[in-house]
Amino acid sequence: MLFNSLEFAVFLPIVFCVYWAISDSKRNLRNVIIVISSCVFYGWWDWRFLLLIFLSTVIDFFVAPAIDDSSIASRRKLLLLTSISMNLGLLGFFKYCNFFLESFQSAFSLFGRPWNAGSLAVILPVGTSFYTFQTLSYSIDGYRKKTQAYTGVRRVR
């Protein structure tokens, strides 16, 4: 769904009206509406890209509270490295997969043996870099103790 499409011209007023029809006291329901609407908007073009966001979210949903709860420095660092490597691995695959395949093909052709492995036709979903760095900052801020991980339960330190 593009911002200048008819679908968006119908979608936005509906979401806007539903959001503001819910009272301020039901903030959690409002948040659910925003999350669902965001998923519908993002997945409109291709719903499979939602799996990438979902995977990245699940990784940091479990890693950030584990970082927050741990007092062992080496465990905290290992959890942070897990989050960084998983998230950047996903981003790197979608962003650079075809680049590396084409580079290897060019390198082999320099040796007189043309090699055509094709390409994987991997498409980088819109906003993946932004979302990846946002979710990484959540884990990094938890590691640096600048924020607490959200667990659904209010905790007091």
Q: Is the pLDDT of residue 154 over 60?
A: no
Per residue in 71-91, pLDDT (tens digit) is 899 999 999 999 999 999 988
30, 22 contact by CB (below 8 A): yes
Q: How confident is the model at residue 99 (pLDDT cuts 50, 70, 90)?
A: confident
27 and 58 housed in the same domain: no
User: Which residue range(s) make up the domain with 127?
Assistant: 46-157
- CA-closest candidate to residue 66, choices 135, 142, 9: 142
Which of 4-18, 55-69, 143-157 has the least mean pLDDT? Answer: 143-157
Q: Stretch 58-65: mean pLDDT, rounded?
A: 91
39 and 75 housed in the same domain: no
Q: Stretch 126-153: mean pLDDT, rounded?
A: 86
- CA-closest candidate to residue 90, choices 121, 131, 62: 131
9 and 56 housed in the same domain: no
Structure tokens at 5: 């499409």
CA–CA gap between residue 83 and residue 75 (Å, rounded): 12
Q: Residue 41 burial by CB count (10 A; 0-12/13-18/19+): exposed, middle or buried?
A: middle
Tokens 């990094």 belong to 140
Q: How confident is the model at residue 63 (pLDDT cuts 50, 70, 90)?
A: very high
94 and 38 housed in the same domain: no
Q: What mean pLDDT is reported for the chain? A: 86
CA–CA gap between residue 149 and residue 64 (Å, rounded): 6
Which of 49-53, 68-72, 144-148, 152-156 has the least mean pLDDT? Answer: 152-156
